[in-house]
Structure 1
Amino acid sequence: MSHLPHHLGLPPFRQRSPWIGGDLQTLRDTLRPLRFPPDRAEAMPIPLADGDQLVALLDRPDGGAPIGLVLVLHGLGGSGDGPGPRRLAQALAAEGFAVLRLNLRGAGRGRPLARGTYCALCNDDLGPAVAWARQLAPDLPLYGAGISLGGTVLLNAGLGGLDFDGLVSVSSPLDLGVCAVQFERRRNRIYQRWLMQRLREQTLADPGGLHEAERQALLGPTRARTIRAFDAAITAPRWGFASVADYYAAASPLASLLDGRPLPPTLLLHAGDDPWVPVGPLRQLAAALPSQAGAGAGALPTVVITPHGGHNGFHAPGDGSACWADRLVVAWLRRLSRGQGGG
């Protein structure tokens, strides 16, 4: 779909044995947990307009002055302490970037400091985080890199005019309704059950408490057992949407991307065998683009679709501490920073 990896000095993605197929690529870090050095990130509270706070974790570059600041967002049910954000942050810091691993509302270390939960369209929360990041490093370019739903959040932020110098999304839903249907397939029953348990625990720990209808949706005899049912009972009403259908329509960036709404330079990476997030919507977008944008050139998104890689897997031979996707993201952002006068 794109010659970008070659232009950035990376080989085409190849699956690493024994992690063959979308499911094993997806589950690799669960079945064989990553070993990280001690986490020396500095926890930083970010005030929100409603008096609550988000928590960001600042990873400084391994040596010298940073060439840019990257806001890294986790996926559904995750946090800034999760293996995906930590692995990407480690790769970015090794190449000279400062990194802010942001916990979205109600996630990770920020759970006690904010009422409610996040959603895919949460610009009211992300706006203060972006402004705070700009104040933290006013002379550096600010990039956003999102994993899974974190990438959707960033795309919505960029489409909404929040101030980024570049965006990256990895394995991110462009159409939330299509993604919900995918999770409801019988083959994905275990995945959905695992995610629902994480969402249930996260929501039950809300310091603002729960309405009785919410508690019944989480714990009652007819409790929500699917992502769609959770979004209907919790996410949509908490964020002021009339229904889950309204939420999915408003928070799915595909239509705006197809309409050509402006974005900063943007990289969209996805695997054709992703078992969680179907690649179809990104293929639809790629087919509609008049041409592939170069690395950081022009307003069109750069689309990279690999045949394999699973959901935020991309485990390739010779990976070391960073997967192939991490290396692609780092190389793309390094080139972008050079084009903007950094590095």
Structure 2
Amino acid sequence: MIDPRFPRFVARPPWIGGDLQTVRNYLRRVEVPLDDYPEERIEFPLADGDRLVAALHRPATDNGRPLAILIHGLSGSQDSIYLRRSARHLLQAGFPVLRFNLRGAGPSGPFCRLSYHAGRSEDLHAALMQLDGRLAGRGLLAVGYSMGGNLLLKYLGEQGRRALFLGAVSVSAPVLPKEAQLRIMRRRNAAYHRHLLEAVKQDFGRPTSAIPESLRALMPAIRTIYEFDDRVVAPVNGFADAEDYYARTASFPLLDKIKVPTLVIHARNDPWIPAAPYLQFDWKRNPKLLPLLPRGGGHVGFHALGHAAPWHDRCTVSFFEGLLRRGR
């Protein structure tokens, strides 16, 4: 399902197939410099005493474009390769960029007792409400990746017409977290599973985390993400169990309520996140949503033939520029 306004996705050899598209950023860890765009640290104090941290960059020429807020995924941060690539591409297109760290992630870690989860959309709302006219006066845009995409879509659905964005993009979001959990638990995904589990253990087990010692002690013995969600994430965040957590953090039931123009990007060969919910949803029900569901691209991969910038970044800039031309 490709809109003619956007380029067709063709995978760049040798990164053919969902797995190679997904792991390319890890196999070829090329630095993504942002030195041409000086970084300014922004902090967002939360009502419970935690503090979120973000990195602000301005384009070389101020042309009055809205601020683009980038929201990373599970075990990520402002320095995730995909986030830095997107930041550079948007900055080159003239958009100021805010690389946003979820609670307990990256530079936010030392200032947070609690940790991110797939549905903590209230943190995003709290940060947005603190943006002054210097940053938000020209409007706000957002891009969410993987878990950050689910969180962004959940926020948009919850807020409806009150959402504070002119437009948004979701990339490879697990809109039904339960289905994503079942997919990552498959034997073929064992390596991915181990990597993600160890990463979230590190995030949640950092010294500043307020996880009770009883839970901290059992973390080394946990062998699956489901068990981690059931025994750590759910009780710490007020969910009955993993099933309750997955159900209450899903953005899929809220898609009909989104009132902000939103580009929804997902590859049908994503090895982590099933495409079935995207293919089953009746997109005509909500004209504010524009789906781009190519056959290839993997999970937050989209390394395309003939282009250094990932396909999803090119589509994002095209979408945002289209919104600005049309005045939404």
User: What 5-or-longer segments of structure 1 have no aligned partner?
Assistant: none
Q: Which amino acid aligns with 1:317?
A: L
Q: Is this contact kept in 1: 2:66–2:136, CA < 8 A?
A: no
| Aligned position for 1:313 | 301
| Aligned position for 1:269 | 265
| Aligned position for 1:200 | 201
Does residue 216 (structure 1) correspond to residue 217 (structure 2)? The answer is: yes
Q: Is this contact kept in 2: 1:123–1:156, CA < 8 A?
A: yes
- The TM-score, its normalising length taken from structure 2, stands at 0.94
Equivalent pairs counted in the alignment come to 323
1:167 shift after superposition: 1.4
| Aligned position for 2:2 | 2
| Aligned position for 1:188 | 189
Does residue 73 (structure 1) correspond to residue 77 (structure 2)? The answer is: no
Looking at structure 2, the residues matched to 243 and 98 of structure 1 have their Cα atoms a distance apart, in angstroms, of 40
Inter-CA distance 238–340: structure 2 relative to 1 (3 Å threshold): farther
User: What 5-or-longer segments of structure 2 have no aligned partner?
Assistant: none
Inter-CA distance 273–213: structure 2 relative to 1 (3 Å threshold): same
- Counterparts of 1:315-334 in structure 2, within 5 Å, are 315-320=303-308, 322-334=309-321
Looking at structure 1, the residues matched to 209 and 186 of structure 2 have their Cα atoms a distance apart, in angstroms, of 34
Q: Secondary structure at the match of 2:232?
A: helix
Looking at structure 1, the residues matched to 89 and 132 of structure 2 have their Cα atoms a distance apart, in angstroms, of 22
Q: Which amino acid aligns with 2:266?
A: H
Q: Is this contact kept in 2: 1:217–1:230, CA < 8 A?
A: no
Inter-CA distance 239–337: structure 2 relative to 1 (3 Å threshold): farther
Inter-CA distance 209–137: structure 2 relative to 1 (3 Å threshold): closer
Q: Secondary structure at the match of 2:75?
A: coil
Match of 1:227 among 225, 228, 233: 225
Match of 1:281 among 274, 277, 282: 277
Q: Secondary structure at the match of 1:101?
A: strand
Looking at structure 2, the residues matched to 306 and 130 of structure 1 have their Cα atoms a distance apart, in angstroms, of 32
- Counterparts of 1:1-343 in structure 2, within 5 Å, are 1-3=1-3, 6-8=4-6, 10=7, 12-39=8-35, 40-133=38-131, 135-161=133-159, 162-219=163-220, 223-257=221-255, 260-285=256-281, 288-290=282-284, 298-299=287-288, 301-320=289-308, 322-340=309-327
1:54-111 deviation per Cα after TM superposition (whole angstroms, max 9, x unaligned)? 0011111132234111110000000011101110011111111111111000000110
Q: Is this contact kept in 2: 1:116–1:206, CA < 8 A?
A: no
Q: Secondary structure at the match of 2:293?
A: strand
Q: Is this contact kept in 1: 2:17–2:297, CA < 8 A?
A: yes
Identical pairs, percent = 38
Q: Secondary structure at the match of 2:68?
A: strand
Q: Which amino acid aligns with 2:74?
A: L
Q: Which amino acid aligns with 1:198?
A: A
Q: Is this contact kept in 2: 1:152–1:173, CA < 8 A?
A: yes
- The TM-score, its normalising length taken from structure 1, stands at 0.90
Inter-CA distance 319–246: structure 2 relative to 1 (3 Å threshold): same
Looking at structure 2, the residues matched to 255 and 97 of structure 1 have their Cα atoms a distance apart, in angstroms, of 31
